[in-house]
Amino acid sequence: MCWSHASLPAALRCSVLAALRAGLLLLLALAGCADPVRDRASGSRTSARVTRHTDGDTLWLSEVGKVRLIGVDTPEVFSAVECFGRRAAAFVRRLVPLGTEVRYRLGAEERDRYGRALVYVWLGDGRFLNRLLLARGYARTLTIPPNIEYADGFAAAARRARTRGRGLWAPGACV
């Protein structure tokens, strides 16, 4: 509904209001006010269930097998255990327990050199798992072309986590 001001024709009032709304949306996006862990981008996503956990950035999905989350690198939990590795793995186990249905999409490069499927994963409520790990401070960014679609958003989420002292960036978390 357009505002009514007698000195402006109705069509002009609606055009001005539409331009103001578009400008506001652009400003909010540029200011980073969008939800950092949700993604509304379109794309072909497939449903699968979590069948096994390996660590914070690697899990197993039905019909796919072993998958590696694109754009994130959680600390290691095998051989040389790294600070926050066990917490990152526990976070993923709590967030997507065995049997949880998720949606995933393969990256531009579908497999890594170890044969793992490279994926972006969304939870049932729409949260973007890859970005959520960064936003909560459980991971660092790992950008490997050609899988760069969300790299800027991932970097922004990681910067915010570090600035806010979240997860592995918390004071004293990894001394």
Give the tokens for residue 120. Answer: 């972006």
Question: Any residues with CB less than 8 A from the CB of 33 and at least 6 apart, and which?
Answer: none
Alpha-carbon distance of 6 to 88, in angstroms, equals 60
Q: How far is CA 5 from CA 2, 9, 16, in A?
A: 9, 8, 12
Determine which one of 68, 87, 103, 136 is catalytic: 68
Rounded to the nearest 10 degrees, how much is the dihedral formed by the CA atoms of 15, 17, 20, 21? -110
Per-residue three-class SS string for 142-158:
ECECCECCCHHHHHHHH
Determine which one of 87, 103, 116, 136 is catalytic: 116
Q: Is 113 a catalytic residue?
A: no
Q: Which residues pair with 141 in a beta bridge?
A: 72
Gyration radius from the chain CA atoms: 20
Alpha-carbon distance of 40 to 17, in angstroms, equals 25
Q: Is 76 a catalytic residue?
A: yes
Active site residues: 68, 76, 116
